[in-house]
């Protein structure tokens, strides 16, 4: 084949998406040359046409007058958003909302650019709700994700299960659940424990009774189907709670609770998801790859332990937390408690233990300050100096959040150093590690400091057995809402290689 044309999707692209598109073409198809035209790219003598269907940022591959849509184009169109808008909730990605999640197109593009072969073992050490795991599954790769957030692991495994389970079986499970729900009785005594008391604070009596009856009905059904049905219900909880559904923090809502019964909205959401999932399963060219998410600490994980298996991983792909990130776990409290994943009094401790936490719990600030002054965790000099410089700029006018910033940043760097070290022990020599991380800023002593997280992490990784290959800037989407001033202002793709 001497010449082919690749057609763009009809929606608007960010500049970095065009750059990634060209890089994936070069990596997958290896053309002798290419030229950019208004509708896409013209390739001359591509040598690996069998990989064309893996392309992310192209809608169609044309050879003369005939054209074939890419798999990505087929999947995105099944989401129902039309062709003028990039879809990020296709396949099982739309099962449950999750703050700060990966862009699935970027995940797939990175897998293409790194030439990760089908059947490879991929690790996502900060997997969140499983975006990378789902994309690997689409390609038949064996992906494992790790995370310390029980809800993240729950949702990720639900998404992966949804790709595997036949839709007719899921529909039968839904019908059986709705039938059982009518006969479930909730004893007042069952709501007097910590879990029940917490939920009664955040739900009116009637919606809470509906939600609890549904949970019991689901859990009495098939275990494989229950994780998916519970995820669908969990995604609706905040809408029916007394919390403001648009606020990342836990604050009382000022808007009325929806009038439609929870059970009716749940049934509609489940039917819609199953309808789209059925089309996805018909569209995927072969059985999806097997993946799973595991509730373990990336900072201490080891092969032959923790459910990771004995074989070393071929590639690492993740979007780690950034320093002093907004506490997204606050948004998930209702689901964590309702699903029985955590007791209410365990949430704050978990939040303080997560990598990138802005909370100091269980350790005194002066202990962290002493660790910074002594460089107790043996970080590279540049990162220690940066934290000490921030500490020296503090003034009496800085509030407690800003006073803690230099110490929290040092703790974040130390946690990421431990993570880089443990991940290195789980991958083969020469394996590539792609991570996308956002930078943020702080104001100390009246001065603004932009924290170039990608630069610092690349330096820390280099001290833990990784070589830095390149850093690629990615333009972020405009954020709106209550927390737009705290949103990530820049993201970068950092590519490392195991030394």
Do 61 and 189 belong together in one domain? no
Contact at 8 Å (CB) between 137 and 160? yes
Say whether pLDDT at 55 is over 90: yes
Provide mean pLDDT across the span 180-186: 96
Provide mean pLDDT across the span 268-276: 97
3-state secondary structure of 467: strand
Q: In what order do the strands lie in the sheet with 66-69?
A: 33-37, 40-44, 3-8, 58-63, 66-69
Q: Which domain holds residue 398?
A: 95-149+289-328+345-498
* Residue 440, pLDDT score: 85
Query: Which residue among 87, 107, 139 closes a domain?
Result: 87
Say whether pLDDT at 452 is over 90: yes
Q: What is the rounded distance in angstroms from the CA atom of residue 46 to the CA atom of residue 458?
A: 34
pLDDT confidence tier of residue 416, bands split at 50, 70 and 90: very high
Do 365 and 467 belong together in one domain? yes
Which position has the token pair 């290195």?
424
Provide mean pLDDT across the span 18-42: 94
Do 304 and 442 belong together in one domain? yes
Q: What is the rounded distance in angstroms from the CA atom of residue 217 to the CA atom of residue 264?
A: 15
Higher pLDDT, 290 or 350: 350
Provide mean pLDDT across the span 442-468: 96
Inside any domain, residue 333 = no
CATH of the domain at 349: 3.40.50.150
Provide mean pLDDT across the span 294-312: 93
- Percent pLDDT > 90 in the chain is 77
Q: What is the rounded distance in angstroms from the CA atom of residue 433 to the CA atom of residue 316?
A: 4
* Residue 100, pLDDT score: 76
Say whether pLDDT at 483 is over 50: no
* Residue 489, pLDDT score: 55
Contacting residues for 165 by C-beta, under 8 A, at least 6 apart: 224, 225, 228
Say whether pLDDT at 480 is over 50: no
Radius of gyration (C-alpha) of the chain in whole angstroms: 24
Average model confidence (pLDDT) for the chain? 91
Do 391 and 482 belong together in one domain? yes
Count: domains in the chain: 3
Name the CA dihedral angle for 336, 339, 344, 347, rounded to a multiple of 10 degrees: -30
Determine the longest span between alpha carbons in the chain, in angstroms: 74
3-state secondary structure of 15: helix
* Residue 204, pLDDT score: 96
Inside any domain, residue 159 = no
Say whether pLDDT at 478 is over 70: no
pTM for the predicted model, two decimal places: 0.94
10 closest CA partner among 124, 102, 113, 86: 86
Do 298 and 408 belong together in one domain? yes
Inside any domain, residue 14 = yes
Query: Which residue among 33, 58, 87 closes a domain?
Result: 87
Say whether pLDDT at 248 is over 80: no
Provide mean pLDDT across the span 37-65: 90
* Residue 1, pLDDT score: 63
Provide mean pLDDT across the span 277-285: 91
Do 405 and 469 belong together in one domain? yes
Contact at 8 Å (CB) between 200 and 208? yes
pLDDT confidence tier of residue 479, bands split at 50, 70 and 90: very low
Do 442 and 351 belong together in one domain? yes
Q: What is the rounded distance in angstroms from the CA atom of residue 37 to the CA atom of residue 42?
A: 7
Q: What is the rounded distance in angstroms from the CA atom of residue 128 to the CA atom of residue 435?
A: 13
Contacting residues for 400 by C-beta, under 8 A, at least 6 apart: none
Provide mean pLDDT across the span 491-499: 96
* Residue 286, pLDDT score: 72
Say whether pLDDT at 64 is over 90: no
pLDDT confidence tier of residue 246, bands split at 50, 70 and 90: confident
* Residue 362, pLDDT score: 52
pLDDT confidence tier of residue 285, bands split at 50, 70 and 90: confident
pLDDT tens column, 423-447: 999 999 999 999 999 888 899 999 9
Inside any domain, residue 155 = no
Do 427 and 301 belong together in one domain? yes
Q: Which of 51-60, 420-429, 458-467 is predicted with the least confidence, judged by mean pLDDT? A: 51-60
* Residue 128, pLDDT score: 95
Do 312 and 438 belong together in one domain? yes
What's the distance, Cα to Cα, between the start and end of the chain in Å?
38
Inside any domain, residue 340 = no
User: What element of type H or E holds 36?
Assistant: strand 33-37
Contacting residues for 396 by C-beta, under 8 A, at least 6 apart: none
């Amino acid at each position: 084949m001497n010449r082919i044309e690749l057609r763009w999707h009809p929606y608007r692209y960010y500049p970095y998406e065009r750059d990634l598109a060209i890089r994936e073409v070069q990596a997958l198809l290896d053309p002798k040359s290419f030229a950019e035209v208004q509708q896409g790219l013209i390739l001359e003598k591509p040598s690996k046409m069998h990989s064309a269907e893996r392309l992310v940022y192209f809608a169609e591959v044309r050879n003369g007058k005939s054209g074939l849509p890419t798999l990505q184009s087929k999947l995105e169109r099944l989401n129902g958003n039309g062709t003028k808008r990039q879809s990020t909730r296709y396949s099982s990605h739309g099962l449950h909302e999750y703050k700060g999640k990966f862009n699935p197109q970027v995940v797939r593009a990175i897998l293409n650019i790194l030439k990760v072969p089908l059947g490879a073992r991929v690790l996502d050490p900060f997997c969140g709700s499983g975006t990378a795991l789902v994309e690997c599954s689409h390609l038949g790769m064996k992906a494992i994700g790790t995370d310390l957030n029980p809800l993240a692991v729950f949702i990720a495994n639900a998404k992966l299960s949804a790709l595997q389970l036949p839709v007719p079986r899921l529909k039968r499970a839904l019908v059986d659940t709705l039938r059982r729900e009518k006969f479930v009785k909730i004893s007042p005594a069952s709501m007097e424990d910590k879990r029940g008391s917490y939920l009664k604070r955040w739900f009116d009596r009637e919606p809470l009774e509906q939600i609890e009856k549904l949970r019991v009905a689901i859990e009495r059904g098939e275990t494989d189907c229950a994780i998916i049905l519970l995820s669908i219900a969990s995604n609706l909880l905040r809408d029916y709670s007394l919390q403001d559904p648009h606020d990342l923090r836990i604050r009382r809502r000022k808007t009325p609770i929806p009038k439609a019964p929870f059970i009716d909205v749940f049934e509609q959401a489940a039917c819609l998801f199953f309808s789209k999932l059925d089309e996805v399963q018909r569209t995927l060219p072969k059985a999806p790859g097997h993946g799973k998410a595991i509730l373990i600490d990336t900072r201490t994980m080891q092969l032959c332990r923790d459910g990771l298996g004995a074989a070393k991983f071929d590639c690492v792909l993740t979007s780690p937390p950034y320093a002093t990130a907004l506490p997204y776990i606050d948004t998930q409290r209702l689901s964590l408690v309702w699903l029985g994943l955590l007791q209410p009094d365990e949430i704050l401790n978990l939040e303080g233990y997560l990598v990138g936490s802005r909370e100091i719990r269980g350790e005194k600030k002066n202990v962290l300050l002493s660790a910074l002054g002594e460089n107790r965790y043996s970080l590279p000099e540049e990162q220690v100096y940066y934290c000490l410089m921030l500490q020296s700029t503090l003034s009496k006018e800085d509030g407690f959040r800003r006073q803690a910033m230099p110490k929290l940043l040092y703790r974040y760097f130390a946690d990421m150093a431990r993570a880089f070290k443990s991940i290195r022990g789980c991958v083969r020599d020469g394996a590539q590690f792609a991570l996308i991380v956002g930078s943020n800023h702080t104001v100390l002593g009246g001065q603004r400091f932009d924290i170039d997280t990608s630069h610092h992490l690349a330096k820390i990784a280099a001290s833990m057995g990784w070589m830095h290959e390149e850093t690629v800037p990615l333009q972020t989407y405009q954020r709106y809402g209550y927390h737009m001033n705290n949103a990530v202002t820049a993201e970068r793709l950092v590519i490392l290689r195991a030394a």
